[in-house]
Chains A and B, each alone.
Chain A
Amino acid sequence: MSQPSEIQPARVTVNAVGEGCEVVLAGSWQITDPRPSWAKLLGAAEPKRVTVRLGEVPRWDTSLLLFLLEVEEWCRQRGFYFNSEALPEKIRVLLAQMMASHESSVPFDRTESFLATVGLATADTLAKARAISSFVGECVLSTVRLVRSPQRFRWRDCFTEMQQCGAMALPIVSLVSLLVGVTLAYTGALVLRQYGGDIYIADLIGLAMVREMGAVMTGVVLAGRTGAAFAATLGNMKANEEIDALETLGIPAVQFLVLPRILALGLMMPFLVLYSDALGIIGGLLVAYGQLSIPPAAFWAEMLTIVDLSDVASGVIRGVAFGVIIGLAGCLRGLQAERSAAGVGRAATSAVVTAILLMIVADAIFAVLFNALGI
């Protein structure tokens, strides 16, 4: 490639010899350049014997072998004679290899029978259930150890994680919560205005944010931000054998890596939920003032008629549960990650999906529970 001007493209001359033909290959044969087509060169001719030899070939590579393979196949399919004896030994050896790989290359069949697929899926589900139970059990045992000897707990790691998942998440939680409040207010205003009940927008926003949306939206944001980060971090640590190193030192990964993260999320979630509630209410208040001309003082007074501390507590309790769920899902998926870059990516995705799914299930359970308790 150094002297492009000197490079002659690959070319083929076909000379008729009796019932057969002699094929002379010349020029530079490079896999990155186009090569002559045997079928086009031949047209309608059907030589019974094809003899191939090299002319002026300054360089050649697999491109030449592909051409020879095409000629050889053409001859074989018709029962004609392919004579490669005039070719250099190296090329003949390579051509033989190529023909062998051509014949032996069978796609790997990964399909399984129906029964095997069902059986494997069942075994896989059971294994996953066992892994989840074992992981949750280890977390509980580690928590007991933490309560018994808190001085041995990695508080510094826990505080670092609290900063990461708490303070560092404030900007995104602010934006999302404010916009959720705004959206709820606009949607509510559409209905309430028709009945002249504009003022009840305060009740709608207050209850929705405090009981549900504050906790759910904070949970969703943290599942995407922190849960995925937990899974990616632990997945990378697993790929780098850092977790194996902990285990060989007799330090359980759950105690060292998982518990500080779950505890950090569980501790920060109440504050983030309260913050989210406040931002959502402010968003609703702004819309109420701008669109429905409801003064902020009236909005606040109306909201306090329906929102009480038990509503706030129900939101905070949800938030704590969501925090633990996000931490568990992120750490579990991280520890289960395959030892590869793709495995880490899959673990992060799986952590977010698992966390959101479990949060919705937990939210439904809380709704039923709080209803039964009259909260």
Chain B
Amino acid sequence: MNGTSHRQNPDEASALPPAPAIEVEHLECGYEGKVVLKDVSFTVRPGEIFFIIGGSGCGKSTLLRHLVGLNQPRAGLVKFLGQPFSAADPATRRQILRTFGMLFQGGALWTSLTLRQNVALPLEEYTTLSARDIEEVVALKLRQVGLVGFEDYFPSEISGGMKKRAGLARALALDPAIVFFDEPSAGLDPVTSRKLDELIREVRDTFGTTIVVVSHELASIFDLADRVVMLDSAQQGIIAEGHPRELAASSRDPRVREFLRRDDLPKPGA
């Protein structure tokens, strides 16, 4: 598919290295007095597919919720495209929120709205587009995720995979610079999961959208990731950072090697 557009024109190379899309500095995350992660620092480059990986309960989704502002960090800083986000005033925060989209685990579609209305809502909130233009954009986004003909269905009338695709169309509605995915493969069959992975790659390849994925699906990690950070619950932070194949081959940490073991993955052509 050809997802959203944004970014600088890929044909024009800039002399200066681009600013990081996301900068996380000494972030401390937790809930109600309990620290889940501490001293988490990393950067995500523009146009990168970046995975946050780790075992169940290590704090992947917690980190994601703190990155996108659903929870306030206990300490540290998150910057999007050079702008501080976690401590921003409400107006700046709203401005920054426009630059990223998020696909929640279950799609998180608003059940009382049709798919068309779900995708149209961010456009109605953040743009001055006419109703006709909004219709055009919505039709395009739903076509890009393969939901032509389902525009007027309610979320309860479509399958889980379709909900995720509709959620992606909504996340891409404002052509965000960064898209976050929370466990995109969860609950999907392998074929649908692979198709969603292809969608993610195409969003990035076409427009250079920065992609951040929280997942523990090895197939997706090895297939898509340019770089990963691996979290560990015992250490309450990052224990590895790099390309998944390099980490799997040469990490000195047995936890990393064990997590990235690919013995169970199907071999190409098998």
Which residues of A are at the interface with B, using a C-beta cutoff of 8 A? 1-3, 30-32, 34, 54, 57-66, 69, 88, 90, 93-94, 97-98, 100-102, 104-105, 107-108, 110, 338-343
* Contact (Cβ within 8 A) B82 A66: no
* Contact (Cβ within 8 A) A100 B143: yes
Closest 8 pairs (CB-CB, A-B): A108-B152, A61-B175, A2-B81, A101-B139, A105-B139, A101-B143, A340-B111, A61-B5
B100-122 interface mask toward A, CB cutoff 8 Å, 1 = contact, 0 = none? 00000000000110100000000
Known: A66-B129, A105-B151, A340-B111. A93 touches B2 (CB 8 A): yes
* Contact (Cβ within 8 A) A60 B174: no
CA distance A97 to B133 in the complex (A): 15
Hey, which chain B residues are within 8 Å of A102, CB to CB?
136, 139
Q: How far is the CB of A136 from chain B (nearest CB, A)?
A: 27
CB nearest to B11 among chain A residues: A88
* Contact (Cβ within 8 A) B143 A59: no
* Contact (Cβ within 8 A) B112 A110: no
CB nearest to B148 among chain A residues: A104
8 CB < 8 A contacts A-B: A2-B19, A59-B9, A61-B4, A63-B175, A65-B140, A90-B206, A104-B139, A342-B112
Hey, which chain A residues are within 8 Å of B96, CB to CB?
1
CA distance A2 to B46 in the complex (A): 13
CA distance A105 to B147 in the complex (A): 11
Hey, which chain A residues are within 8 Å of B151, CB to CB?
105, 107-108
Hey, which chain A residues are within 8 Å of B139, CB to CB?
98, 101-102, 104-105
* Contact (Cβ within 8 A) B136 A66: yes
- Besides A110-B152, A340-B155, A341-B111, 16 new A-B residue pairs in contact (Cβ under 8 A), listed by A number: A2-B82, A2-B83, A31-B129, A31-B174, A59-B8, A61-B6, A94-B2, A98-B139, A101-B136, A101-B143, A102-B136, A104-B139, A104-B148, A105-B148, A107-B152, A343-B156
CB nearest to A61 among chain B residues: B175
CA distance A3 to B80 in the complex (A): 12
CB nearest to A341 among chain B residues: B111
* Contact (Cβ within 8 A) B5 A32: no
* Contact (Cβ within 8 A) B175 A62: yes
* Contact (Cβ within 8 A) B175 A98: no
CA distance A69 to B129 in the complex (A): 14
B128: Cβ under 8 A from any A Cβ: yes
B5, B137, B140: the one within 8 Å of A60 (CB) = B5
B 28-85 contacts with A by CB, 8 A: 80-83
CA distance A64 to B7 in the complex (A): 13
B168-191 interface mask toward A, CB cutoff 8 Å, 1 = contact, 0 = none? 000000110100000000000000
Known: A62-B4, A64-B5. A338 touches B156 (CB 8 A): yes
CA distance A167 to B148 in the complex (A): 55
B111, B133, B135, B175: the one within 8 Å of A30 (CB) = B175
* Contact (Cβ within 8 A) A94 B5: yes
Hey, which chain A residues are within 8 Å of B98, CB to CB?
1, 32
Q: How far is the CB of A16 from chain B (nearest CB, A)?
A: 27
